[in-house]
Structure formats: structure tokens, C-alpha cells
Amino acid sequence: MPVDLLYEWLAFYQLEPFGDEWMRTAVQMSQFYNAHRGKSQPVRKPADFMPVEQRPQTPKEIHEMLMRIPVVG
């Protein structure tokens, strides 16, 4: 990427920050859910649709998960 283009993107980011796709998706999902929920269903906030950070899996946990996948052939 030419340095001119990099500076252009940096300037654009100052005006219009980008990169928070999860929050935009969570807002859309909460709006869709709340518009179509039943009267007895609770109102959901965007935070309810954000992915949760999980601890990294150990090699043993990864191995156990892979061993549960059926092999076809």
C-alpha cells in the first residue's frame, strides 16, 4: 500500500471510525429480535448478541473435540 493511501485511510478513520462490525451486527440483531418478539419474550439489548470471549482451549481439549468428529470413508 502506498504511504499516500495509508495516510488517506488514517484521515478517513479519524472522521468515520470503522472496524466495530460486531457492535453493528449486534444492534441489527437486537432490533430484528425486538421487532419480532412475542409479548411474553424479554427485550434484548445489543450486548445480548455480542460474542463472548472464551479462554483458549488446551491441546487436550482440542484433541478430544476433534476425536468426536465422525470420519467418513
> Cell for 30?
437486537
Determine the pLDDT at residue 5: 92
Of 11-15, 51-55, 58-62, the one with minimum mean pLDDT is: 51-55
pLDDT tens, 2-29?
999 999 999 998 888 777 778 889 999 9
Written as one letter, the residue type at 19 is G
Those residues whose C-beta lies under 8 Å from the C-beta of residue 34, and which sit 6 or more positions away, are 43, 44
Q: Is the separation of the CB atoms in 49 and 26 below 8 Å? A: yes
The pTM of this model reads 0.50
| Distance from C-alpha of 33 to C-alpha of 23, rounded to nearest angstrom | 15
State the residue for C-alpha cell 495509508. Answer: 6
Is the per-residue pLDDT at 44 higher than 90?
Answer: yes
Is the per-residue pLDDT at 45 higher than 90?
Answer: yes
